[in-house]
Chain A
Amino acid sequence: MNAKPNARLRIEVDHLCCVGNAMCLALAPGVFAHNESRQSEVANPKGGSREEILDAAENCPTGAISVSDADTGETLFP
């Protein structure tokens, strides 16, 4: 990957896929939070390290989380 280590990240949670498994909340607690339906949403894209965020995306059982470089648009996950 060419993205700089401190690149701004664009994180999206697809609510048609999110089942509220809550692994992302555990892996990147500063980033993700539950909404009223207990689906995940991005509370603060800078609330965790890049590693934590990519780990959360990879561990989403339904692949609901996508991550890209906010400036270059490069896809980081999936």
Chain B
Amino acid sequence: MPATATLTDDLFAPEVIADPYTYFGRLREIEPVHWNERFSLWLVTGYDELVWILRHNELFSSAVIRDAAAPPYPPVDPADVPLFDEIRDFRADQLVEKDRPEHFDQRSVVHGYFTPKAMEKWRPFVRAAVEELLDDIQPKGAMDVLTELAAPLPVRIIAEMMGVPYEDRDRLRAMADGILYINRGEPYRFRPLVEAIRGIVDYAAPLVEERIGGEGSDFISVLAGGETCGVFTRHQVLVNTGLLLFAGHETTMNLICNGLLSLIRHPEQWERLRADPEGMARLATEECLRYDPPVKSTQRIVAEDVDLGGRTMRKGQRIRWIMAAANRDPEVFSRADEFDIGRQPNPHLSFGSGIHYCLGATLARVEGQEVFRALAERFERFELAGRPIEYQPSLQFRSVKSLPVRWTA
């Protein structure tokens, strides 16, 4: 009997959702390239194998939603199943789903917006937005980190990047919250999601019309410029606006919540950060990314038969790699399961690798660094409110449902 027979094959089992590190760590030890029969997909958990796959993009197609979308899981209300096509059409046309050569042309349009130098210019704005949120929060003595800090901060930044007028910010926030249902498990989730998708298209369409052919440097103008030079269709301009709103929101929320949770649970590391918030913020953010990443896993479709890790992956099969597990690979990281905010070097895979390396990594880093720095400067100590932390039932994202904390104000 193979050693993996002792492990559950139910990737949505409560213990796997609650603690992916034990489950996928065990899988990595036994079989770093593993076929899961129940969900019909390959699971890759070894660091070297992941990097190899990520760097051989021609062998693994990103058009997963278009070509291989499994039925919605967890299941949705039967009356809502027809909404799946609308969701798929929206998501399948986004940049993240494209392969080369299309991917290169599309990414080139937006790539310059997110260079390290370009994102450094956003640091003062991010810093001010963090301070504004914390000014309101600090006197209260308690908060849900998710809804009061981690969710609003990235949306504030995205609104500014999109050039959304002040009076529309609440509307944008509502759409941003709706689009988070991509990652949720409730049976009714398609309805708020479709409402958010339609809302984004309705909202962005006149902005694109207004800005196309203009001189604007906001993100919508940049996307519209891609239409002008024939790289994007109008539909793609609109759905990529939605991509920014989702990809820049869900992930950053998770970085802030998961990172703060790690710091709270490791008080000696929290004290290290408090001793030098400005100096330690950069490395601490990298370790937060490694130790409990915003994205647990990502998927592809095998584009041609590939031999890896002693197994043969066949064309058309789905493959999911678990960077959360690869980030704990003892072949690469010494004391891999230890949270050490001074860890250097830290070649984690939380932003992926290769041609699809996270476009927003530079922004995520600025946001993470500014939040962890400001929290360490302002707060002496946080306590968890005592309830067990619960996670969304997602294979892809590591998302808490809430993170209630208290402090002495």
Contact = CB atoms under 8 A, between A and B. Distances in A.
Interface string A63-78: 1000000000000001
B355 interface: yes
A61 B118 CA distance: 10
B355 A21 contact: yes
Contacts of B359: 61
Interface stretch (B15-23, B108-116, B197-205): B108-116
A42 B51 CA distance: 21
Interface residues on B, range: 20 to 34
B361 interface: yes
Contacts of A16: 345, 347
A72 B114 CA distance: 31
A19 B353 contact: yes
Given A37-B55, A38-B56, A61 B116 contact: yes
Nearest to A55: B112
Interface string B329-364: 000000000000000010100011111010101100
**Interface of chain A: mostly helix, strand, loop or mixed:** loop
Contacts of B362: 61
A12 interface: no
A61 B360 CA distance: 9
Contact of A38 (B55, B114, B116, B361): B55
A21 to B, nearest CB: 5
Given A16-B347, A26-B104, A61 B355 contact: no
A19 B111 contact: no
Interface string A16-46: 1001111100100000000001100000000
Interface residues of A, number: 16
Interface string B305-328: 000000000000000000000000
Given A58-B117, A61-B361, A20 B111 contact: no
B72 to A, nearest CB: 32
Interface string B112-156: 101111000000000000000000000000000000000000000
Interface string B34-58: 0000000000000000010011100
Contacts of A58: 115, 117
B55 A61 contact: no
Contact of B354 (A21, A26, A63, A78): A21
A63 B116 CA distance: 7
B115 A61 contact: yes
B181 to A, nearest CB: 29
B357 A21 contact: yes
A23 B116 contact: no
B114 A19 contact: no
A37 B353 CA distance: 12
A19 B104 contact: no
Interface string B267-293: 000000000000000000000000000
A54 B104 CA distance: 20
Contacts of A78: 116-117
A62 B54 CA distance: 16
A20 B115 CA distance: 15
B129 to A, nearest CB: 23
A20 B355 CA distance: 7
Identify the interface centre among A58, A59, A60, A63: most chain B CB within 10 Å of its CB.
A59
Given A16-B347, A61-B361, 5 more contacts: A19-B354, A21-B357, A59-B111, A61-B359, A78-B116
Interface of A: 16, 19-23, 26, 37-38, 58-63, 78
- Leading 3 A-B pairs by shortest Cβ distance: A38-B55, A19-B353, A21-B357
12 contacts: A19-B353, A19-B354, A20-B357, A21-B355, A21-B357, A59-B111, A59-B112, A60-B115, A61-B111, A61-B115, A63-B116, A78-B116
